[in-house]
């Protein structure tokens, strides 16, 4: 059985599903490698417009797999470093995916799974979902996921939840900015479909450029260099193929070419 399954529909919606419900979709080196490969595949597929990260079963992901943790307990420093680099590459690939990403969180997301949710652009959770950065309970720290979690929930909340390891609800996750929407379990897919419809109405090139814009502009000083850079970006995209198509469609009161009939 594949622990990660990818399905791409005729609209270009790629759903990557963690498929190990008996182990609550817990991470080990195999699922990390399979997720990384799946993320790389859809990132490089020009037909893919939107990526949904989902999972089978009761839990979104329980974090680290127990048997993997037993093996890691005997690892040397070099082996632990190799292992952490693999996890870091998986997170980096998802975070910087050049397509919009949506996490579908139906249940518990612990440890590294909070990192996965943080790396997605949007997350829709059911009230059953709960979250925990539990690493300090066993003498560890959420190091590899920390850049993404801190970007999602901020320093103040991170200082609390990194150190208390307390479990928090989907509603709290929404207040912190980790989750975009909290809806009943039966409404998860419809809510995600609404987001997908919004995304598919937009220029694929502009969506990609807009996502990259956030990474490139966030936390920078607003100086003449940044102002010049943003002016250049809007000028470039206005004269691009999709920029011209979008402006033309708007002025002609017609649908742009990227919207399927």
Residue 207: C-alpha distances to residues 21, 98, 169 (Å):
33, 9, 31
Residue 257 located in a structural domain: no
Instruction: For residue 260, tell me if it sits in a domain.
Output: no
User: How far is residue 162's CA from residue 148's CA, in Å, rounded to a whole number?
Assistant: 13
Residues 176 and 245 in one domain: no
- Do 141 and 236 belong together in one domain? no
- Average pLDDT of 17-45? 94
C-alpha pair distances (Å), 156 with each of 4, 35, 81, 145, 151:
34, 30, 28, 16, 11
Q: Are residues 97 and 211 in the same domain?
A: no
DSSP string across 106-143: -S-EETHHHHHHHHSSEEEE-TT-EEE--GGGGT---T
Query: Does any domain span residue 239?
Result: yes
81 and 140 within one domain: yes
pLDDT of 91 higher than 80? yes
Same domain, 37 and 61: yes
Model pLDDT for residues 120-172, shown as the tens digit of each residue = 999 999 999 999 999 999 899 999 999 999 999 999 999 999 999 999 999 99
Domain-embedded: residue 261: no
Indicate whether 49 and 161 sit together in one domain. Answer: yes
Are 153 and 63 found together in one domain?
A: yes
User: Alpha carbon of 180 to those of 108, 123, 172, 192: distances in Å?
Assistant: 16, 5, 11, 11
User: Would you state the pLDDT for residue 69?
Assistant: 76
Residue where a domain stops, chosen among 183, 199, 215:
199
**CA angle at residue 80 from 164 to 116, to 5 degrees?**
55
**Token pair listed for 227:** 């102002």
| Residue range(s) defining the domain that contains residue 207 | 203-252
CA distance linking residue 178 with residue 189, whole number of Å: 19
Q: Tell me 217's DSSP state.
A: H
Same domain, 214 and 182: no
Q: Do both 184 and 222 map to the same domain? A: no
137 and 230 assigned to the same domain: no
Q: What is the CATH number of the domain that holds 9?
A: 3.90.226.10
Q: Which residues contact 129 (CB under 8 A, 6 or more apart)?
A: 60, 105, 106, 107, 108, 109, 169, 170, 173, 179, 182
Q: Are 145 and 126 in contact (CB under 8 A)?
A: no
Would residue 166 count as lying in a domain? yes
How many CB atoms neighbour CB 22 within 10 A?
9
Based on the domain organization, do 152 and 218 belong to the same domain?
Answer: no
Query: Which pLDDT band holds residue 57 (cuts at 50, 70, 90)?
Result: very high
The secondary structure of 34-53 as a DSSP string is HHHHHHHHHHH-TT--EEEE
> Is 259 domain-assigned?
no
- Report pLDDT digits (tens) over 67-77: 777 777 778 88
To the nearest whole percent, how much of the chain has pLDDT over 90? Answer: 86
Specify whether 76 is located in the same domain as 27: yes
Give the contacts of 225 (CB within 8 A, at least 6 positions apart). Answer: none
At 176-229, the pLDDT tens digits run: 999 999 999 999 999 999 999 999 999 999 999 999 999 999 999 999 999 999
The pairing of strands 181-182 and 101-105 is unpaired
Task: Give the span between the Cα atoms of 65 and 31, in whole angstroms.
Answer: 10
The answer to whether residue 212 is domain-embedded is: yes
Q: Can you tell me whether residue 17 is helix, strand or coil? A: strand
What per-residue confidence (pLDDT) applies to 261? 64
Instruction: State the total domains in the chain.
Output: 2
């Amino acid at each position: 059985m594949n622990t990660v399954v990818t399905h791409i529909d005729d609209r270009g919606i790629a759903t990557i599903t963690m498929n190990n419900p008996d182990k609550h979709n817990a991470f080990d080196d195999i699922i990390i490698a399979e997720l990384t490969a799946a993320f790389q595949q859809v990132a490089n597929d020009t037909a893919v417009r939107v990526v949904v990260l989902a999972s089978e079963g009761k839990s979104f992901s329980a974090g680290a797999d127990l048997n993997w943790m037993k093996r890691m307990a005997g690892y040397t420093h070099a082996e632990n470093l190799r292992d952490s680099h693999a996890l870091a590459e998986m997170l980096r690939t998802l975070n910087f995916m050049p397509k919009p990403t949506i996490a579908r969180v139906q249940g518990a997301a612990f440890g590294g799974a909070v990192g996965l949710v943080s790396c997605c652009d949007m997350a829709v959770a059911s009230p059953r979902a709960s979250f925990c950065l539990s690493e300090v309970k066993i003498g560890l720290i959420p190091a590899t996921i920390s850049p993404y979690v801190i970007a999602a929930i901020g320093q103040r909340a991170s200082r609390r939840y990194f150190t208390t390891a307390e479990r928090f609800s989907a509603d709290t996750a929404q207040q912190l900015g980790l989750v975009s929407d909290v809806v009943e379990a039966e409404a998860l897919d419809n809510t995600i479909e609404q987001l997908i419809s919004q995304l598919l109405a937009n220029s694929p090139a502009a969506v990609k450029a807009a996502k990259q814009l956030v990474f490139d502009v966030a936390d920078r000083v607003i100086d003449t260099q940044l102002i010049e850079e943003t002016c250049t970006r809007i000028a470039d995209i206005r004269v691009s193929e999709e920029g011209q198509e979008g402006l033309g469609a708007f002025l002609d009161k017609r649908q742009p070419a990227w919207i399927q009939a």
